[in-house]
Amino acid sequence: MGRLLFLVFLVVPLIEIALFISIGQAIGLWPTLLGVVVTALIGSAIIRKQGISLIEEIRRVTAAGAMPAKQLAEGMMLGISGALLLTPGYFTDAIGFLLLIPSLRIKIYDYLKSRIFVVHAGMSSRGPRPPPDNDDYIDLDHNNWRDDD
């Protein structure tokens, strides 16, 4: 994971620099800089509209007694989109705008959901949950673990 982050922090700025140079040569300095500002403003307006809609959906799902996992994941992706759109650059703007597409966010959520296994810890009204049927699960009593703080 550390190598991936290092690669991202190395490659993304290089892509941004290359795009700034290419676009700047094609349309000039001021239109290039104006383009970055305009994409940030447009993206902010879209995020605001989708964010308000998402908050209403979270309230509706929660009021129905369900866990709004999909909506919370979409909210996280909207937040990432906002950060990318406010970061100066055309490559980050492109990724940010892609995350504004609801169907793409749903596909990303479905992919992540298939890759993540959530274990609910604690007691339910029927007693403790049985462990999953795999060898990677270790069930510890209170006496078998320690906090190394």
Handedness of CA 138, 139, 142, 144 (dihedral sign): negative
Residue type, 31: P
Specify whether the CB–CB gap between 69 and 76 falls below 8 A.
no
Nearest to 102 by CA among 67, 62, 75, 64: 75
Give dist(CA 30, CA 68) in Å, integer. 44
Q: What is the three-class DSSP state of 124?
A: strand
pLDDT in tens, the chain (149 residues): 788 898 889 999 999 999 999 999 999 999 999 999 999 999 999 999 999 999 999 999 999 988 898 999 999 999 999 999 988 999 999 999 999 999 999 999 999 888 887 665 655 555 556 656 666 666 677 676 666 65
Domain boundaries, the chain: 9-120
Residues in CB range of 47: below 8 A, 6 or more apart: 78, 81, 82, 85, 100
Whole-prediction pTM: 0.72
pLDDT of residue 59: 94
pLDDT of residue 1: 77
Count how many residues are written for the chain: 149
With tokens 């001021």, the residue in question is: 30
| Phi, psi angles (nearest 5°) of residue 97 | -65, -35
Q: How crowded is residue 97: how many other Cβ atoms within 10 Å of its Cβ?
A: 16
Handedness of CA 69, 12, 83, 25 (dihedral sign): negative
Nearest to 88 by CA among 43, 129, 48: 43
